Structure 1
Amino acid sequence: MSIASGLPSPIRRVLQEGELVLEAPFTRRIFTNRDLAFDQISVIGFDMDYTLALYRQDELEALSIRCTLDKLIARGYPEALRDMQADPAFAIRGLVVDKTYGNIIKMDRHGYVGRAYHGKNLLPKPTRKALYRAQRLGTERERFAPVDTLFALPEVTMYAEVVDRIDQRPDLWPSGPPTYAQAWNDVRECIDQAHQDGSLKDLIQADLPRYFQLDLELGPTLHKFRSAGKRLFLLTNSLLPYTESVLGYVLGGQMSAYATWRDYFDWIIVGARKPEFFTGNQPFQELDATANPLGRPIGEPRRGRIYNGGNQLGLQASLGVHPDEVLYVGDHIYGDIVRSKKSSGWRTALVVEDLEHELGIRRDRQIPLKEIEQLSSLRISLADELSAQRYLSRLLARMTPDDLVRQGVAPEAAESLLADTRIQVRRRFDRLRKYEEEMATTLERRIADVDEAFNPYWGSVFAARRDSSRFGAQVESYACIYTSRVTNFRYVSPTRYFHSPHGSMPHWHSSAK
């Protein structure tokens, strides 16, 4: 509920026009995993890519695939790969690549594989189960590669297409196709090269409007933080020339009080090399506005300057506050959130761009989602009842008329009583099983319909098998708060206390009997 609700409408309009109180759209909410007193946060840090600067994902993926194809073909991959029709909807965050078998899998929080594709072909359930019976998959680094960032999605899409060519057209490689593992390594290395040699970023910088969303709320959101007395810093792996271009586009000219994007930040750290930034001791190299080094590297950055590299301990010392008074906002589970939380003690906010789509689908599919929840609960009850009836049938099968006679039943009635009881129990079991099968069919159909709305290949990013997905569990475990974009904070009071819905153990839900 808004703090302005209940006030006279003229006063409410004045507050909203002055942007003192704004109503948050449904899909722009902020969610809490661990209590966080925003009023106690005095410093807020930001990543840049997919945090302050949001890419147009379809355009970026198409460009990444094009650049990667050039490098793959230069390595000896067939020219025919250029004919691939890559589907940008295929890859989502939270997947895991099985390099040994050329499979792409989605797991729940317990490591159970509920869906798997070989290339872009869905594996039948028996095949999937035969391959992935073991729990806690994905820990063998040589075999499994996690996909946790939006930057990584093009390589998954590319890899699926390459696997299909290896299977269907091995003749395209005169000396024989690569192994699935080698194909993955080649795709990964080629994408890395495209990022490192500047070929990808040069094309992005040449047409910024094509590759970036322009969110006109970004400047006002950062200004709101500063007006509330919070100091801001930028901490990005991107180098200064790229950072200058991107933030100049997404922030430049938004507010007259800020001559350039740099004026929003008290500290600017580029080329940070996260996650090593949080564990290493690399010094800070001061840069001028054209990225030229100034003086010798130092151990602690000074406010109002631009630095390359550095480390968390040095930055923390410069901030001059306790670690739990710092909130770091990023999009990368491991590079931004896990390392910053484990190594620094900073509070964490995860930007999950997928959340807006997720919330929109959940709003539009409220009725089938509620039906799924009710049917799932009923199915559990039915399974318990069927188990009880199955056990009862086994007990009755072992029982003899003599057992009843010893209980006082007349000998001439014991056999018919036992036979009638067995028939009744069997009929009840068959009736329950038929109902359970019909309900299971309805449940699976509803789940398939809703999954199709989330993503036609994988369903929800956050859920798997009616439980949290691997990615969803990571969000729960490592992010204090999470939301779809930085500008959602514009709708939140700078003094808000974020309360988490504290969890409870399963036995706490049962009432005394």
Structure 2
Amino acid sequence: MRGTYGRELVKLANEARYTFLNALFSVSEAVMYMQMVDRMDQGLLPAQVVPNTYDALWQLVSKAEIIQEPAAYAELDPDMARTLLDQKQAGKTLLLITNSDYQCTDAMMSYCYDRFLPQGMRWRDLFDMVVVQARKPDFWAHAMPLYEVVTPDGLMRPAMDAARVGLHCGGSATMVEKALGVAGDDILYVGDHIYTDAALAKINFRWRTALIVRELDSASHLASAACWAAGRPHRPMLEQDGKDFSERWGYLSRAGLNDKSCLMRQIEKCADIYTSRVSNFLQYTPYMYFSVTKG
């Protein structure tokens, strides 16, 4: 890799051969792509299949399989339900906007949330408005057909406008603002993809954005200042510090000693706040106002 590309100047704006890997979704896509290239080199896969990584991925793991065995694909977090319930009880209007269809959404949300909610309460009771099959990123730019989900098994009927309290399919962010009677920075949008979620919500609608960066759970992205404390044994501390980041990629938020990583620059540009998971908000009052302190 270093010998081939070490001195090559890459202009990303003009290079269709390169793509950004900006989220955990991209990691799975990249791994799948590399596995298929290996199989193609071994003569086990037709060459024309390789570019279409998403189709190949869903051939291996279908939504039906995920619904049948959610424990294999979903990580339970008891504090997630408590966090949303805390916000709900504080008078906040909660929305769920997802690209998944109703059956998949209901099955996965039931598995992840219902067991941690008060007796007789379901995940649907947490949210005033639910939008399934939102088709992000088109959800931010186009007014797509809107439907109302009217039966537990997902039967739908056409709708002219989104309701403030309801279960919808499709539509657009403009319809959401109209239904809620609010716009811009009155809305905090929480998502886990820099472009599909945070960037477009901020650029197109000026919504406040909170980016979920799950990688922060498994990596310490800040260098340990204690490594350089005077009078301390440096070698063991440096060795420990070296375990806190990827040996191949380094720290998540730093490039070298003083520069920010590409990931951190993207986060600063697109997100008002970032954290490893939504349940971290449970540590604060639901009326907490988060702001950046620059010194």
Task: Give your verdict on TM over 0.5.
Answer: yes
Count of residues in Structure 1 that have an aligned counterpart in Structure 2: 286
1:334 pairs, out of 195, 201, 208, with 195
**Identical-residue share of aligned pairs (%):** 31
1:145 is aligned with what amino acid?
T
Determine if contact 2:219/2:244 at 8 Å carries over to the other structure.
Answer: no
Question: Shift of the alpha carbon at 1:321?
Answer: 1.7
SS at match of 2:218: helix
Match of 1:488 among 264, 280, 285: 280
- Aligned-residue RMSD, C-alpha: 2.8
Measured at CA, do residues 173 and 220 of structure 1 come closer, stay the same or move farther in structure 2, by a change above 3 Å? closer
- Picking from 155, 173, 181, the partner of 1:312 is 173
Residue 270 (1) aligns with residue 147 (2): no
**Is residue 2:6 matched to residue 1:129?**
yes
State whether structure 2 residue 253 is matched by structure 1 residue 462: yes
CA distance in structure 2 between the partners assigned to 1:230 and 1:218 by the alignment: 16
Question: Residues 328 and 349 of structure 1 are in contact (CA less than 8 Å); yes or no, is this contact kept in structure 2?
Answer: yes
- Which residue type is aligned with residue 271 of structure 2? A
The reply to whether residue 173 of structure 1 matches residue 43 of structure 2 is yes
Aligned pairs (5 A) from 1:222-241: 222-241=84-103
Give 1 or 2 for the bigger CA radius of gyration.
1
Q: Quick one: distance in 1 between partners of 2:36 and 2:118?
A: 50
Q: Which runs of 5+ in 1 are unaligned?
A: 1-122, 372-441, 504-513
* Alignment partner, residue 192 of structure 1: 55
SS of aligned partner of 2:115: coil
More deviation in 229-238 or 210-219? Answer: 210-219
What are the superposed Cα offsets for residues 155-181 of structure 1, whole Å, 9 maximum, x if unpaired? 222334455677xxx5x3399x95xxx
- Output the CA distance in 1 between the equivalents of 2:205 and 2:137: 11
Taking the aligned partners of 1:163 and 1:257, their CA distance within structure 2 comes to: 50
* Counterpart for residue 367 of structure 1: 226
Counterpart position of 1:501? 293
Whole-Å separation in 2 of the counterparts to 1:174 and 1:224: 52
CA distance in 2, matches of 1:258, 1:313: 33
Return the match for 2:33 from 159, 164, 167: 159
1:19-30 aligned within 5 A = none
Ranges in structure 2 where 5+ consecutive residues have no aligned partner? none
Q: What does 1:46-61 correspond to in 2, within 5 Å?
A: none
Are 2:18 and 1:144 equivalent residues in the alignment? Answer: yes
Is contact 2:32-2:53 (8 Å) kept? no
**Partner Cα separation in structure 2 for residue 271 and residue 245 of structure 1:** 15
Q: Which amino acid aligns with 2:215?
A: D
User: Which of 194, 200, 213 is the equivalent residue of 1:352?
Assistant: 213
AA in 2 matched with 1:469: S
Please state if 1:303 is matched with 2:164. yes
Partner deviation per Cα, 1:457-509 (whole Å, 9 max, x = no partner):
22223222332221111111110011111111111122222221226xxxxxx
Query: Take 2:44 and 2:115, find their aligned partners in 1: how far apart are those partners?
Result: 55
Please state which structure has a larger fraction of its residues in helix: 1
Deviations, residues 176-221 of structure 1 (Å, cap 9, x unaligned): x95xxx7xxx4451433544x7942222212112221111111211
SS in 1 for 2:214: coil
* Alpha-carbon separation, structure 1, partners of 2:286 and 2:86: 8
Please give the alpha-carbon distance, in whole angstroms, between the structure 2 residues aligned to 1:150 and 1:340.
19
Contact conserved, 1:451 with 1:460, CA < 8 A, in 2? no
CA separation in 1, counterparts of 2:211 and 2:279?
A: 13
Correspondences of 1:418-433 after superposition (within 5 Å) = none
Distance change in 2, residues 1:157/1:449 (3 Å): farther
Give runs of aligned pairs for residues 215-254 of structure 1, distance below 5 A.
215-254=77-116
> What is aligned with 1:214?
76
- Aligned amino acid, residue 251 of structure 2: S
